[in-house]
Chains A and B, each alone.
Chain A
Amino acid sequence: MATSSPAAPSPADAAQLIYPPNVLANTSLHTVKFLSSCFAGAAAGILGLENLPGFALFLASTLFTAGCIHSINCKGASLGKYLQGGVWELVNPGQDNAFTFVLVWTLFYGIVHVYD
């Protein structure tokens, strides 16, 4: 995960202290979010969840993923040390992953419950 020195005095100095290759390494966060939304979609489809419980599962899986990353990867430390965007960057699934969830959910729901 990315690291930057703590206690930056001003915004310009704070920007200077951020190490670019580590920020690029944070794209593993995107991959994790995508995979978790895929599996959440599969789970929702297989379980046969309909409208509101399905979206509730997506929300729960997003929060659970964020919690896991926070405790395991960030070692429970403050997020300013690892992520430039703070809590929102950790939790936000993004538009892409929301649509991916819907796609995979529909796919598995169709395979398991609609077709014989």
Chain B
Amino acid sequence: MSTSAVSLYLDPQIRDWVLFPITLVMILVGILRHYVVLLLQSSPKKQPRAAIREQRALARSQILRATASNSPLPPHFYTSISRHLSDAFEAGTYLKDGPPKGDAPSTPPNPITDPAAMDGMMAGMKTQMVMMVPQMVIMGWINFFFQGFVLIKLPFPLTLGFKSMLQRGIETPDMDVRWVSSLSWYFLNFFGLNGLYRLILGSDNSADSSRDMTASPFANAGAASPGQPQDYNKLFKAERDNLQFSEGMYSWVGKDIENKVLSRYGKI
């Protein structure tokens, strides 16, 4: 029968020289990873004024439409802005290359040949490599130096299937699965330090290991490329229709405000 009543005595030096150092190293490497990713991120490319103007025009009309049904703008402001934007979208005055010539339909730039989209994909892949490499290095370091001895006892039980992973290097068929080697301490730290990183580095940190496993270079590339080939002419036409629709839905919050105030004070 398994002797779960017998407990092993472990040298306190293991605690001083293995337990704390592994944790400390992992915390520091996580912080280092975060700052390396921050330094590797190239600043966004400066776009010409015309390109920014066309993006901002779209944003302006969307902001206007977002609060149309409870709008803080009085009617004359709202209708004048809405009409101005509608006419501008129709005539194409905000387009990056000027009003459309009308002869050939514009084609969106190819994402592979477009240099701006390639930069986005490369940046995504670079950050993925930076995330992967320290994990591999630390695992190799632990496997090399801290192998072959029991480190700690887990307070909760696990099935026998975990024995081969968590007790790697310790060839005892009978020992309780709760006595584990340093690699399992690495895994515990790997998962458990995310909360600490969120506390120290803020919620948008790059040291988060849970994000490594869900993201992949292709997900980053897929998210970066659709932003580029957008035909602003078509978007402006669609936005114009939306503006007309919102104008129908428009209602000022201050409508009949004089009656509301008077009725509140009982004058009506």
In the bound assembly, the distance between CA atoms of A95 and B210 in angstroms comes to 9
Q: A24 CB to closest chain B CB, in angstroms?
A: 10
Query: Which residue of A44, A50, A106 contacts B152 across the interface (Cβ within 8 Å)?
Result: A106
Give the complex CA separation of A110 and B180 in angstroms: 11
Secondary structure at chain B's binding surface: helix, strand, loop or mixed?
helix
Nearest chain B residue, comparing its CB with the CB of A97 = B195
Question: Within the assembled complex, what's the spacing in Å between the Cα atoms of A110 and B155?
Answer: 8
Q: Which residues of B contact A16 (CB under 8 A)?
A: 66-67, 70
Q: Would A102 and B196 be within 8 Å (CB), given that A51-B157, A54-B155, A110-B152 are in contact?
A: no
Contact B66–A110 (Cβ < 8 Å): no
Stretch at the interface among B6-14, B50-58, B81-89, B140-148: B6-14
- The answer, among A54, A99, A115, for a CB contact under 8 Å with B12, is A115
Stretch of A30-38, A62-70, A73-81, A82-90 lying at the B interface: A30-38
B210 and A96 within 8 A (CB): yes
Q: Is A49 an interface residue (CB 8 A)?
A: yes
What residue in chain A is nearest B197 (Cβ atoms)? A96
Instruction: Please name all residues of chain A whose beta carbon is closer than 8 Å to the beta carbon of B157 when the two chains form the complex.
Output: 51
The CA-CA distance from A107 to B155 in the complex, in Å, is 10
Q: Of the candidates A50, A100, A111, which one forms a contact with B156 in the assembled complex, judged by CB atoms under 8 Å apart?
A: A50
Decide: A103 and B188 in contact? CB cutoff 8 A.
Answer: yes
Collect the chain B residues with CB atoms within 8 Å of residue A116's CB. Answer: 9-10, 12
Taking CB atoms, residues of chain B closer than 8 Å to A12 are 69
**B198 in contact with A114 (CB, 8 Å):** no
Shortest distance between the CB of B115 and any CB in chain A (Å): 35
Q: A12-B69, A16-B70, A111-B15 are in contact. Are A54 and B198 (CB under 8 A)?
A: no
Chain A residues closer than 8 Å to B194, beta-carbon distance: 96, 99-100
Give B20 Cβ to nearest chain A Cβ, in Å: 9
CA distance A50 to B178 in the complex (A): 11
Q: Which residues of B contact A34 (CB under 8 A)?
A: 195-196, 198-199
Tell me, in angstroms, the Cα distance from A95 to B69 when the chains sit together. 39
Chain B residue contacts of A113, Cβ below 8 A = 153
Across the two chains, which residue of chain B brings its CB closest to A55? Answer: B156
Q: What are 9 contact pairs spanning A and B, CB under 8 A?
A: A16-B66, A51-B156, A51-B157, A97-B195, A100-B193, A106-B154, A106-B185, A110-B19, A114-B153
Q: Which residues of B contact A (CB under 8 A)?
A: 7-10, 12, 14-15, 19, 23, 66-67, 69-70, 152-157, 185, 188-189, 191-196, 198-199, 203, 210
Q: List chain A positions with a Cβ less than 8 A from chain B.
A: 12-13, 16, 27, 30-31, 34, 37-38, 44-45, 49-51, 54-55, 95-97, 99-100, 102-107, 109-111, 113-116
Q: Beyond the given A97-B195, A103-B192, A106-B185, please list 11 additional residue pairs across the A-B interface where CB-CB is below 8 A.
A: A27-B203, A31-B199, A50-B156, A95-B210, A100-B196, A102-B188, A103-B188, A109-B155, A114-B7, A114-B152, A115-B10
